[in-house]
Structure 1
Amino acid sequence: MNIPPKKIPANSSNSMLDLYTHYGRNHRFHIFCGILGTLLGRFSGLLPAFFLGLAIDLIFFDQSLPTSYVFSSQLESFSPSSILILFSVIIALSFFLGAVSMWLGDRGWNAFAQEIQHALRTDAYDALQALSMNFFEDSRTGELLSIINNDVNQLEDFLSTSFSDALRLVVMVIGVGLILFLLNPELTIIAMFPVPIIAILAYLFVRNIHPKYVAMRSSVGGLSSRLEDNLSGIEVINTESTKPYEKGRVSDSSSEYYNTNWAAISTRIKFFPMVTIITGIGFVLTFTVGGLWVLSGPPLGFSRPLTPGTFVTFVIYVQQFVWPIAQFGQIVNTYQRAKASNSRIFGL
């Protein structure tokens, strides 16, 4: 009962990469379905705002499309009601495509996550079986159970949702940025200003949070070990009347987990509000500058015109852009938690 727990070493050199290159090799179909569903879903989500802006300019403000649009000449022969019906059908189809893509993506990523967790859990157990008895004499069962069960389960959120969210975010930044730049490159500069600031904050967040998550996952193993040892030796504890002493040791292990977990929480709860504030400022600037642009002409030395339909498209796209960017912090947070757990698994 007095053997100190042995800390399982973390191996963070390339464990997250190995997770996909080694274990993902046999699940390419699930990865393909996940990526395809994510890309199609994000693409379909960009269509409604684009055609809504066109409809506003063509139908309600009787403005002609730029000649750069490949279908501008064909739409000239359409009546306003025909354009409205056509765009309504396109928007309806985009929502249907989005629903099918969501099912395909979720099925692919969740199947991939479950298959990888199963393979990791069995491989970790197989690795334990190959170790010498000296390792088990120096290690606690609770620590090993924490790795095989808790750390493996910790990967589920990242494998099933966070990776697809990150891919969706990349597509969103590229797709929205490209469309906005084609519509009005000057207003796009204002709309995209949060991106580099959030990238800097994310770098600082990752640098600070990762060692805290490693310490937290290690303390989970220590707490599991303490509880496992005490419960398995509860008869000895009752016989020798050491209940207050053992309670104190459990309290110490629990306090270590509390302190390491709270250290990670303190860092995390500072990062998320900062990202939300920055993305909100970007939306307000886009709405204010764009609104003045439509009402009074180009401000701040800009020169390109801005139609009401393009302004509406900008506002919708920036709003779609704001919330995924705000969720970027959660993606980074889940990745760091998964990386800490994965390092302990590969440490076996």
Structure 2
Amino acid sequence: MDILKQLSIYYREKRHYLILSMLCLAAATALGLVYPLLLRKLIDDVIRKQQYDLVLGIALTALGVVIVKAFLQFLHGFFGGRLGNYLAYRLRNACYEKLQFLSFRYYDRAKTGDLMSRLTGDLEAIRNFVGFGFAQLLNLVLMVTFGMAVMMSIHWQLTLVTMITIPFLAGIALKFESKIHPAFQEMRLALSSLTTAVQENITGVRTVKAFAREPYEVEKFSHRNERYKNNQIFAATLWSKFFPAMELLASISVAVLLAVGGTLVVKEQLSLGDLVAFFSLIWFIIGPMWGLGFHINNYTQSKASGERVLEILNHKIDVKDMENAIELSADEVKGEVKFEHVTFAYGNKLPAVRDINFEAPPGKVVGFLGGTGSGKSTIIQLLMRAYDVNEGSIELDGHDIRTLSVQSLRHQIATVFQETFLFSSSIRNNICYGMSEVSMDEVIRVAKLAKAHEFIMELPDGYDTVVGERGMGLSGGQKQRIAIARALLKNPKILILDDATSAVDMETEQEIQAGFQEVMRGRTTFIIAHRISSLRHADEILVLDEGSVVQQGTHDELIKVPGPYQDVYRIQYADHLAREESSTKRGEA
């Protein structure tokens, strides 16, 4: 019950619903004991003693019990449903909020399909058990307790003989729980894997079709589906062994009751009405014992689901505010950035960046050039505090960024990522994302700076055009220009362009770069690019290789010095250099 105890903080405010639900169910259960007693009276007093005038009273009593019991069961369902839904609501909000603040390190390993499974199927299993299953499990105990109490009041010796198989029934149920719990844990993992496969396939359907890999995807899904099927079969096998064993022991109890109770009736040591009442009461006990497997099933599923949900809720946030973190004000921030001996590694891997040192005064434009894995994006993510540095420090206006609140730091930064993400909403909402009370004139102004206004106006509904999931329906260049407009609207002190023009043609890139000249004025700007054309106007360019700065200077300085920058320049401007060389030769001739 430790898992449910941890979850109790999410329904503590409504625990009176749980209490009322259990009380109503307990009362309804107690009323169920009236039926065997009425049956005993009907046989012993009405039939055997021929007191037929009691029939109407017995019938009205039975009717009254039915009505009251039905009302109590309604209240049980009402309060239980309220409790379960309240818990699911609180848990869903808590999980979603925690996912918003979990660090990038968590998402480096997390799978979308698995998280979706936790926030849907697992939460539903918890809701069902806390809302109804817990009360039902308690009701099972009450039914056994109440039933045995009434039986003991009628004939305690017959009760003890009849109940001889109950310990064995409980033992089988407990052994079943110990085996079914690991099976359900594995089943949940298999279901998460299945969900992840479907989510990845739908997300990457264009890639799948482009490479004609449909048969491979079908086979991959089939393997995961088979794993889930085998888990279901294993669980079903456990159930198939559990029910016959329970029924055998229950049948033995009934047989003992009929044999011993019948003998007592013959010897007139027990009335026929008592025997019939006993027969009804034994099912009042054995019935719940049969249902014990079902309740254990619900408990086990909720326990496995609770573990998966709590794994999210209890996960450590790697990057968080320290005590008394400084709240930055946009009016006070100048945008001076300083890296001092910064070293960082992802997990136990080799350092992604080593001993990085540079300064970026307010308004300075710093460019980063390097091959894949050289550490360009890592430097930017460290500046945003997506991760905390292992060694050294990063300062903003003289403050170590670890002393600043994460939210206030990121409010001063706007980033255009290489992989553009757009929400399933209108273009205007995508540009205004995270901003409130923005005028249409401002939206159009930044869209023009990003060279997005013209193609937006050609769309059916202009800025009110709703883009598909992840920006479906727009080209890569169009999505990137919308992302640039979104960053510009934020009016940040620090602007990060992570290969922001990689998806546009050279002509559009030049137009956007011209617009950036105005936007960059007065802002500290960091540009990551593979094209030297995007970097040549930077105040300083850092060339990285395997996480270290190997060259540093302006464009004009670097092209004159043999090294990686000059090599990239010669490759990208080979045609231009060839034309210059040819022109020079003709001039000399």
Q: TM-score, normalised by structure 1?
A: 0.84
Contact 1:294–1:306 (CA under 8 A) maintained in structure 2: yes
CA positional deviation for 1:15: 1.7
Aligned equivalents of 1:265, 1:315: Cα separation in 2: 31
CA contact (8 A) 1:34 1:105 kept: yes
CA distance in 2, matches of 1:289, 1:258: 47
Alignment partner, residue 258 of structure 2: 287
Aligned to 2:232, which of 257, 261, 267?
261
1:45-60, aligned counterparts within 5 Å? 45-60=32-47
Q: 2:111 aligns with which of 140, 145, 148?
A: 140
Matches within 5 A, 1:6-155: 14-19=2-7, 21-62=8-49, 80-155=51-126
* Aligned 8 A contact 2:112 2:196 in 1: yes
Identity of matched residues, %: 24
Aligned partners of 1:327 and 1:242: how far apart in 2?
47
Give yes or no for contact 1:53–1:310 (8 Å, CA) kept in 2: yes
Residue type at the aligned position of 1:224: T
Partner of 1:200: 171
Query: Which of 328, 338, 341 does residue 305 from structure 2 map onto?
Result: 341
Among candidates 310, 314, 318, match of residue 282 of structure 2 = 318
- TM-superposed CA distance for 1:280, in Å, is 2.2
Moved over 6 A (4+): none
Structure scoring higher RCO (CA < 8 A, sep ≥ 6) equals: 1
Secondary structure of the residue aligned to 2:270 is coil
Displacement after TM superposition at 1:60 (Å): 3.5
Give the CA deviation at 1:173. 0.7
Give the CA deviation at 1:207: 1.3
CA contact (8 A) 2:39 2:277 kept: yes
Q: Secondary structure at the match of 1:273?
A: helix
More deviation, 280-289/32-41? 280-289
* Number of the residue aligned with 1:211: 182
- Name 1:163's counterpart in structure 2: 134
Quick check: 1:272–1:330 contact (8 Å CA) kept in 2? no
- Match of residue 174, structure 1, among 134, 137, 145: 145
Q: Counterpart amino acid of 2:181?
A: H
Structure having the higher strand fraction is 2
Note the C-alpha offset of 1:254.
1.5
CA distance, structure 1, for counterparts of residue 275 and residue 282 of structure 2: 10
What are structure 1's unaligned runs of at least 5 residues?
1-12, 63-78, 298-304
Aligned pair count reads 312
Could you say what secondary structure the match of 2:26 adopts?
A: helix
Deviation at 1:154, TM superposition (A): 2.1
SS in 1 for 2:33: helix
CA-atom RMSD, angstroms? 1.9
Determine the C-alpha separation between the residues in 1 that align with 2:243 and 2:24: 28
Check conservation: 1:162, 1:334, Cα contact below 8 A.
Answer: yes
Matching of residue 306 in structure 1 with residue 306 in structure 2: no
- Aligned residue in 1 for 2:489: none
Q: Which residue of 2 aligns with 1:190?
A: 161
> In 2, distance between residues paired with 1:274 and 1:191?
17
Deviations 1:264-311 (A, max 9, x none): 2221221122112211221222123212221245xxxxxxx2111111
User: Is contact 1:283–1:322 with CA below 8 Å preserved after alignment?
Assistant: no
Deviation at 1:233, TM superposition (A): 0.4
Task: Give the distance between the partners of 1:327 and 1:222, measured in 2 at CA.
Answer: 31
Instruction: Note if 1:229 corresponds to 2:217.
Output: no
Query: Normalising by the residue count of structure 2, what TM-score does the alignment of the two structures yield?
Result: 0.51
Q: What residue identity is the alignment partner of 1:35? A: M
- Contact kept? 1:57, 1:308, Cα under 8 Å: yes
Which structure's residues are more often helix, by fraction? 1
Structure 2 unaligned spans of 5+? 313-589
Alpha-carbon distance, 1:82 to partner? 4.7
Deviation at 1:259, TM superposition (A): 2.1
